Structure 1
Amino acid sequence: MPNIKPISDLRNYTDVLREVRDNNPVYLTRNGRGEYAIVKIDELDRLRATVALMAQLEEGENSAREHGWISADDAEAALGL
């Protein structure tokens, strides 16, 4: 269940930060609407790495669609396996 708090709870920010866990951010609302999320730095780094990987995979897939796919044997040969 998401941990949602009003932004005014940041007056006691140490209490809010204690509630932040891996895969369990604290969401802050302003005027009843979602505005911010507090996540651990490790989780943020993982999310950024995931986005970067997804972008590279999309680039590779677009290239394969445009220029054609290669066989597994050709890929192994190119890698010297």
Structure 2
Amino acid sequence: MIGQAFEVCDEDKKGYLNREDYKVAVVMLFGYKPSKVEVDSVMDSMKQNQSGVSLEEFIKLMSAKKSAHFYHSEIRHLFTAFDRQ
């Protein structure tokens, strides 16, 4: 699913996602538009000679984000199950 989002958002088949492509991909996968700070952080973490986020890096980033999102959802579910008030 992550690879498919990358392919769809890499419309020009350039092999990477620029800032706008990345934002659209995050919306597709998680349903929210990432903040400027989040996008800046991701783009700044890429190697200096890259113009954007490669498929390999995108898969790493989104897998970590999905794992964190799942963990947060599980904690919230458990909390509400035991929250009687």
TM-score (norm 1): 0.40
Larger radius of gyration: 1
Higher strand share: 1
